[in-house]
């Protein structure tokens, strides 16, 4: 789907430009000197609150820093910062949590040739020059990262291929080789058109996935602590109204990871779904000014 920019993106704070860069890293980036490691895998500047990344039609990546708690019931954007240009080269950009061993959450991006690249967060809202993970990712139509699926306190990655098989990539904690050898989870995942790693929203053994089927019904897959999942639980219908679902870390500062849904028309371009800890009704919808009147501006949100 082609997204068209419908307005000028207003940015506050300092511009932080990151070049794509094809070089590899000789050493891992140090943790930010400003503080200790972040507890939010979606925090890129070390202030503890969720950051959301969005790519516009010109290939520019933007970072929105959300306040760490609701303000009169509204999830508000604190600042918007330009990260850099050139991100149109990628088919998919995914926030994967801390996979490189530094203090903050990282990104992976898959280019048009199927090569996956790793961007290690520097802790100031910018990213180190990209590091090549490897080729062959064109065989997958969906990837989802940022959730600890096997209970070892490291973020993992899953991917679905064209045959509908789900594959598990264990996070290693090393930037030199961030993922282990893939392990087959199971088939039948072609029934879903969107897959999101949401963290442990149900209070079970490990991180969870949500998957949206072609009818717009969202399903919860609870992690079993071994890289697999329990029998799916129906969350509800109507999720086809959104173009993208993002596992966003703890947005509202209640100790549970939350979900951001993007791509609706009208005033509110996104909604925050706070997790409840209840497996049968895992989310409560909150209003946010994130992407207000910008529901069709971005081709990728992570």
* Position 12 in a domain: no
Q: Please report the beta strands in the chain, taking only residues with DSSP state E, as ranges in sequence order.
A: 51-56, 61-66, 77-84, 90-97, 106-111, 116-119, 131-134, 140-147, 156-161, 166-169, 183-186, 192-199, 208-213, 218-221, 233-236, 244-247, 259-262, 270-275, 283-287, 298-301
pLDDT at residue number 240: 97
pLDDT at residue number 36: 34
What is the pTM assigned to this prediction?
Answer: 0.85
Q: What is the tens place of the pLDDT at every residue in 78-134? A: 999 999 999 999 999 999 999 988 778 999 999 999 999 999 999 999 999 999 999
- Tell me: pLDDT of 214 over 80: yes
Cα 270 from Cα 264, distance rounded (Å): 6
pLDDT at residue number 1: 35
pLDDT at residue number 265: 81
* Position 154 in a domain: yes
Cα 73 from Cα 55, distance rounded (Å): 27
* Position 19 in a domain: no
Helix (H, G, I), strand (E, B) or coil at 196: strand
Q: Residue 235: how many CA atoms within 13 Å on its side-chain side?
A: 29
Asked whether the beta carbons of 115 and 90 are under 8 A apart, the reply is no
* Position 61 in a domain: yes
For residue 195, give the CATH number of its domain. 2.115.10
pLDDT at residue number 17: 29
State CA 36 to chain mean position distance.
Answer: 22
Among all chains, which residue has been given the structure tokens 């971005």?
Answer: 298
DSSP notation for 5-42: --S-----S---------PPPSSPPPPPTTSS--S-TT
pLDDT at residue number 30: 39
Asked whether the beta carbons of 124 and 35 are under 8 A apart, the reply is no
pLDDT at residue number 39: 56
* Position 210 in a domain: yes
Average pLDDT over residues 11-38: 34
- For residue 178, the enclosing domain spans 51-301
pLDDT at residue number 205: 80
Number of domains present in the structure of the chain:
1
* Position 189 in a domain: yes
Asked whether the beta carbons of 96 and 106 are under 8 A apart, the reply is yes
| Whole-number Cα distances in Å, 36 to 40, 48, 52, 99, 123 | 12, 10, 21, 17, 10
DSSP-assigned beta bridge partners for residue 19? none
* Position 122 in a domain: yes
pLDDT at residue number 101: 81
Percent of the chain with pLDDT over 90: 71
Helix (H, G, I), strand (E, B) or coil at 195: strand
Average pLDDT over residues 235-250: 96
């Amino acid at each position: 789907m082609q997204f068209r920019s419908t307005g000028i993106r207003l940015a506050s704070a300092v511009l932080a430009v990151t070049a794509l860069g094809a070089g590899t890293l000789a050493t891992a980036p140090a943790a930010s000197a400003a503080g200790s490691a972040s507890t939010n895998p979606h925090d890129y500047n070390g202030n503890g609150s969720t950051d959301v990344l969005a790519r516009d039609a010109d290939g520019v990546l933007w970072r929105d820093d959300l306040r760490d708690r609701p303000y009169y019931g509204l999830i508000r954007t604190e600042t918007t910062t330009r990260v850099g240009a050139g991100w149109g080269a990628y088919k998919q950009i995914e926030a994967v949590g801390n996979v490189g061993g530094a203090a903050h959450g990282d990104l992976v991006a898959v280019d048009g040739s199927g090569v996956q690249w790793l961007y290690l967060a520097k802790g100031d809202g910018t990213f180190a020059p990209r590091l090549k993970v490897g080729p062959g990712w064109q065989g997958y139509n969906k990837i989802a990262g940022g959730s600890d699926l096997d209970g070892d306190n490291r973020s993992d990655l899953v991917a679905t291929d064209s045959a509908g098989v789900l594959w598990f990539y264990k996070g290693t904690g090393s930037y030199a080789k961030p993922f282990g050898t893939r392990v087959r989870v199971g088939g039948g995942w072609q029934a879903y058109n969107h897959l999101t790693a949401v963290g442990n929203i149900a209070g079970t053994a490990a991180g969870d996935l949500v998957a949206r089927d072609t009818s717009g019904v969202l399903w919860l897959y609870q992690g079993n602590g071994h890289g697999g999942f329990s029998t799916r639980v129906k969350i509800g219908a109507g999720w086809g109204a959104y173009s993208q679902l993002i596992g966003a870390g703890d947005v509202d500062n209640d100790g549970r990871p939350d979900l951001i849904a993007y791509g609706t028309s009208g005033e509110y371009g996104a909604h925050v779904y706070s997790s409840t800890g209840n497996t049968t009704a895992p989310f409560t919808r909150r209003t946010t000014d994130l992407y207000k009147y910008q529901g069709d501006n971005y081709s990728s949100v992570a």
